[in-house]
Structure 1
């Protein structure tokens, strides 16, 4: 098709001041403003970090969902990150998106962070390399990556107003470092600013950060954009260098008001031109993707995409315990039929991602039960498989679209939209859909039957349900708007006449869930209907959102009954696979976790099952650490993250040994929350958060104070064994080159990660015991030996931030090179010396 590159400087001369101002904010939620007179096109952006949603929250075109960020990082595989990024780039084009709003490269400062799962690691180097290589992959497809959230957006509590207080050393060494690495190695075309303040100033209006560090020091030439509604001023943000306000239409760069500021010489025309220049450069870069302006969003159904998702998922899974080699499980049984029970709230649930803007409508999902069942079928069904729920996990009642049907027997929720309220004579219906979810957020709902900006309308969401068991069932709904749930015409749950503020929707705008109970009979078909009114009907507060409703139902069964059922099953089988953890209801944008525990009765379930069967494999799914009071009693433990579309297949691949696990923890797992260095300083207190642990985040802290953890950073077992030998360290004034021979000494092919840490021998200031400086992953057949070599610049290997000099400092000293396969398992040690002390800035 070909693209015509914009002549940026000529356009700056030809654009009028009002046209320039219009370019500095989005046109709508996903697009920039076009200037047709000068053939400046609109470009499209799209979430996100673990899959490309496209332009719709409501009834979106399905997407491929990748494992969450902390899972991606756990692969420790630079080449695989590039491959994943390339798939993201391809899928962005299929959604018509020129810019991907990701990757997320904030620090997992605490296990409680609501978006911890979306970031990569507690370690800035691992975070930076993961981001850089994913960006490389995305931009190999000529799609622009927008690195986010710059910087210190490490909690959800009061995220738009919280003032992050920290030392310049922590700012540079920990929180800026991932962005530093990604900018240096991959040059993302765009950068998204964080919501929060840093030391008193919002990042989106900090000239010190956006101009002093980003432009002057890092020499960054990409565009800066705000997080959505993350802009707080007109003049200050423009002068700081916040190029693009998102989303549109603008709130702060209104044409009349901003033009008035320019005409009054309060905002210099050069400031306008400088910001427009970066927006035009972004458009030029985006046009290289050669996306047709009339593209119709489509899903990527190429089997090759599923292969990549499965490969990434396979390598992300971390084997944490395997006493007595209980794993891998066998697909076949020779002497008598072996029995396996699959138990747990996540066994038949597909925990593909955490919540918020990272979540999307996955094209398909494979549950752990489905993945395990398929493996057993491959073995000829000589192993029997049984299931029990064991415990509930849902914070609210579950999505029921997969168990509701319409009159034709099609799965899904029938949505009928009306101009008039329920009960109105001759209601005017203007739209109807069959939807794959009962968790409905209508923020971007549009229809020809509505006037532009029309907020007040109504919807009936309905379907038929046939219970498999006679019992009491709980029905409920939370909403932004009003909602009532009916079963066969009888009101069961009322979130219309009685509403209480809650945290529904990732913006925390809606109500708590209201519930009711009704007795249902097995085999009888019931009509379920949720009557919904949009946000103008909301009784609690005004909202500019259209609104939404989450409704669902499930059997009403006390925890003790479900545990008893699971225990009885566990008694009767040879082995038990317990699939537990969290979900997007507990880890999500919009709020932080209140504690590190798995909610509900899961821990009790595990402990009771262990009393009757010792052959237990626990598979935990969460994006960040959870407490594990039962860990010492469990012989096998697998950490599986949120695994994307292929999560069930990847879990089964590892459990049955078709894939030898090679994942390494991208963060430390403390024994309890109180052990975490941020414990006393997490969350907003009177609008401030103090990063009191300074540079001692994660393993840097645990090692310095000699605090034992449950599982250390970089840790992960294999079904084979490896030997490290023949360490070589060679250094000159520019680089240190580290090489080591790795041998697979076991009988199974597998991959191992060589982790290279550096320790300064005689530092003049307090430094961590050691810091990760590079890593390399190698695949080895049984008995095979290969060399792994990494080259690290001397300045990156040795430097710390000198706050007095306001520069990086590398001290003349001797440095230890510590090589191992986790942060607490150093196998080989070497050293090198530097000949001088020097200071530096830049990338």
Structure 2
């Protein structure tokens, strides 16, 4: 239907206009019924459309992590997955998905690196653009985030990123500029952090001067959840929407007073209302304002797409003596699959992106299925304990006392005392339970409630076992009605659990008997600290909107796990060691505490490799880890990242050779953590922590190039079971103007090695020749292309386009992009950043300059 936005704005009262400036609830905007203006529902991404309930909601398709999608280097695949993500968003009755995450993986210890596509601005911008195009082609709004430089979780709500102008423009803003230019996203999300002294949500320079005026973008900008730091400054900066609702900053009284006092112009409010109404028009909400609830699609077609996408991101880093692929054969009588991540599901990193999938696969279960009809025996051992905390109590050892299903039950009461019967009872599968605006409808949204989480625990062994409790707000743990732990719920500056909103875990030990059932009860109530946010900006956003408890349980185990696993491998013909991190080591709210594999995993690898020559290591992680010295002791190394619900099937497809690995590294793998630029950042949080981006434009592989340090694996590296030949590289179009690209063709041929078709990725870099007008990186990625699947003997021609916008540098003095006359560049073509050869030179005869580029 045709909607006259100007007319609607003229009919709105000031109170109604103010209501549009903040969410009505956690996942919905406000509407005005008298004028027929509907609300709009948003859903978390980027790993899938979770819907409005954390943890225990309707299952949703769990996509491969962003870094795995980055490893595909496949623009067409990202657009296809964007279409699938839109389909999932519709299944949750939402119209906007909070995806993609576009911040650069600046430092190897970044807690949310797994969410983004990689380290390189051009690469991230290209893939994000493709995903946004796919999402919005289906009538769903995408939300690139977090604008800008939200690349560390240390003091993430208040930390200040001190970024030189060129680095800000050429590295951190560039991916957003690319996606605005080429995909016109309907929304963007501002970051929590400060950039050069200004909170992003209150930076008029970023939100209005750059994104709107300079880039000409007309979409809506919302805050991250709880990321509106002040009402007046954020409105004046151009932040349209405070989320979540009800508002904390932009209350009716606060905004009205700001207008009356002349601190906020009513015209600015009209502009934000206009953008919100425009989003409603784009999403079709005026045509269909229904809310049909949330459903789980879980179709075979979806599963096949996710499996293919997961396979495409897996990177083969080492394969000596053709250790891979593993095929059933007479010589392979026993296959050992060991390691802490072999049997358990490690689908993604932690935080708001984590999803309850309709099903899970593990590496062990998928390999067992693969060898079930053959004579090969598959044996397993955990091999190491890598839990960062006391592990969450397993649902297979805990049952709901009401239903006997795995997990537990939550009884709810009004008020802070348990009076009468519960007003509601809900079931939880996971005993790490988080509630965020999704309590039972009968519980009012004023945080005045109490609860009792009950489960029946059945130990498998007798001994002195660990029990732990962490909570948001005060809680107590009882075992058979005996109080064991009393948790105040007091927040600490260095808190890590519950997105940093919870207490650290309290641990006790108690003697339990195998086979006996113990009644576990955790009681608590909402925390009701009254927070004056106008006075205390150091308070964590949304502190009073979260609630949760975590029940940890670990049975006494005095065995030597690595030695036992090694003995099993000694008796096997091959060993697959599945190691890595998980959602408690890599998570929103904290950076990773160490570069090396946690726990005894390095010892496990080395002891297995010492007794089993055919040792294959599979790493599940969202960022590089320290590989030396153990990588030199194993025959094969496969990096699977985090693959969502299809993690096991995808790993088995690659390990067993039914999929020829085509993933290529989206980040450089340094030998030491000190070789990653962000390590000059403070390691402890504090008031107004500042991170100085002293490396400037030398981010990712450029940093190692600048220092002259060789990585253990370069950007773009990856092996296949096939070999490729690159030949006949030629420049088809030599002239470079603001409207004319340089075009390069290269022939790629699969010369054999596997009966399974294979794909190759070709990268193009430019390197300055002689002294340049402004300092440039040693080489800069400026184009890439991926071949189709090629059978042995087949070849194809790939095309690489290099346009002026990929070569320009930002001149802070003139505030424009420029390629000066007389500039000369070598063009390098190859398969990774350390294996690229000069194929020609590009000479710029006439200066090219611009402020903002038009769509390519």
Distance 1:347 1:291 in 2: 46
Moved more, 14-23 or 639-648: 14-23
Over 3 Å counting, the alpha-carbon distance change for 1:671 and 1:115 in structure 2 is same
Counterpart position of 2:63: 66
Q: Are the equivalent residues in 1 in contact too, given 2:467–2:554 (CA < 8 A)?
A: yes
Over 3 Å counting, the alpha-carbon distance change for 1:238 and 1:766 in structure 2 is same
Distance 2:609 2:299 in 1: 42
Distance 2:546 2:110 in 1: 28
Counterpart position of 1:697: 699
Q: Which of residues 797, 818, 822 is equivalent to 2:832?
A: 822
Counterpart position of 2:216: 219
Tell me the CA shift for residue 464 of structure 1. Answer: 4.3
Moved more, 704-713 or 76-85: 704-713
Counterpart position of 2:517: 526
Report 1:280-429 matches (<5 A): 280-287=277-284, 293-330=290-327, 332-335=328-331, 338-377=333-372, 380-399=373-392, 400-406=394-400, 410-419=404-413, 427-429=420-422
Q: Are the equivalent residues in 2 in contact too, given 1:151–1:203 (CA < 8 A)?
A: yes
SS in 1 for 2:560: helix
Counterpart position of 2:847: 837
Counterpart position of 2:423: 430
Over 3 Å counting, the alpha-carbon distance change for 1:300 and 1:402 in structure 2 is farther
Match status 1:755 vs 2:775: no
Moved more, 601-610 or 677-686: 677-686
The alignment's TM-score, normalised by the length of structure 2, stands at 0.93
Q: Are the equivalent residues in 2 in contact too, given 1:487–1:526 (CA < 8 A)?
A: no
Counterpart position of 2:467: 475
Over 3 Å counting, the alpha-carbon distance change for 1:8 and 1:663 in structure 2 is same
Tell me the CA shift for residue 631 of structure 1. Answer: 1.2
Q: Are the equivalent residues in 2 in contact too, given 1:414–1:432 (CA < 8 A)?
A: no
Counterpart position of 2:748: 742
Over 3 Å counting, the alpha-carbon distance change for 1:44 and 1:505 in structure 2 is farther
Tell me the CA shift for residue 577 of structure 1. Answer: 0.7
| Structure 1: 5+ residue stretches without partners | none
SS in 1 for 2:745: strand
Report 1:198-217 matches (<5 A): 198-217=195-214
Moved more, 651-660 or 235-244: 235-244
Distance 1:236 1:429 in 2: 44
Distance 2:387 2:433 in 1: 17
Moved more, 127-136 or 762-771: 762-771
Counterpart position of 2:506: 514
Match status 1:649 vs 2:649: yes
Q: Are the equivalent residues in 2 in contact too, given 1:718–1:750 (CA < 8 A)?
A: yes
Counterpart position of 2:534: none
Distance 2:561 2:68 in 1: 30
Tell me the CA shift for residue 449 of structure 1. Answer: 4.1
Q: Are the equivalent residues in 1 in contact too, given 2:414–2:443 (CA < 8 A)?
A: no
SS in 2 for 1:319: strand
Q: Which of residues 155, 171, 174 is equivalent to 2:168?
A: 171
Moved more, 287-296 or 822-831: 287-296
Over 3 Å counting, the alpha-carbon distance change for 1:528 and 1:715 in structure 2 is farther
Distance 1:819 1:495 in 2: 62
Tell me the CA shift for residue 521 of structure 1. Answer: 4.5
Distance 1:420 1:358 in 2: 30
Q: Are the equivalent residues in 1 in contact too, given 2:615–2:636 (CA < 8 A)?
A: yes
Distance 1:217 1:423 in 2: 56
Distance 1:822 1:802 in 2: 29
Tell me the CA shift for residue 568 of structure 1. Answer: 1.6
Counterpart position of 2:680: 680
Match status 1:15 vs 2:12: yes
Counterpart position of 2:576: 577
SS in 2 for 1:129: helix
Residues 142-193 of structure 1: CA deviation (Å, up to 9, x unaligned) = 0000111011111111112112111110001100011011111111100111
Tell me the CA shift for residue 36 of structure 1. Answer: 0.9
Residues 493-552 of structure 1: CA deviation (Å, up to 9, x unaligned) = 514379785735443122222223344454x24134132212339999995235211113
Over 3 Å counting, the alpha-carbon distance change for 1:420 and 1:32 in structure 2 is closer
Distance 2:316 2:465 in 1: 38
Q: Are the equivalent residues in 1 in contact too, given 2:317–2:719 (CA < 8 A)?
A: yes
Match status 1:804 vs 2:813: yes
SS in 1 for 2:645: coil
Tell me the CA shift for residue 387 of structure 1. Answer: 0.7
Distance 1:546 1:205 in 2: 24
Q: Are the equivalent residues in 2 in contact too, given 1:486–1:529 (CA < 8 A)?
A: yes
Q: Are the equivalent residues in 1 in contact too, given 2:722–2:751 (CA < 8 A)?
A: yes
Report 1:116-135 matches (<5 A): 116-135=113-132
Over 3 Å counting, the alpha-carbon distance change for 1:508 and 1:622 in structure 2 is same
Match status 1:562 vs 2:547: no
Q: Which of residues 482, 485, 490 is equivalent to 1:494?
A: 485
Tell me the CA shift for residue 257 of structure 1. Answer: 2.9
Over 3 Å counting, the alpha-carbon distance change for 1:190 and 1:537 in structure 2 is closer
Tell me the CA shift for residue 441 of structure 1. Answer: 0.8
Distance 1:180 1:815 in 2: 24
The alignment's TM-score, normalised by the length of structure 1, stands at 0.94
Aligned alpha-carbon RMSD (Å): 2.4
Q: Are the equivalent residues in 1 in contact too, given 2:412–2:425 (CA < 8 A)?
A: no
Q: Are the equivalent residues in 2 in contact too, given 1:597–1:626 (CA < 8 A)?
A: yes
Distance 1:838 1:600 in 2: 54
Match status 1:786 vs 2:796: yes
Tell me the CA shift for residue 825 of structure 1. Answer: 1.1
Tell me the CA shift for residue 333 of structure 1. Answer: 2.3
Q: Which of residues 89, 92, 103 is equivalent to 1:95?
A: 92
Moved more, 10-19 or 135-144: 10-19
Counterpart position of 1:774: 783
Counterpart position of 2:588: 589
Tell me the CA shift for residue 669 of structure 1. Answer: 1.0
Distance 2:385 2:505 in 1: 16
Question: How many residues align structurally?
Answer: 830
Match status 1:252 vs 2:243: no
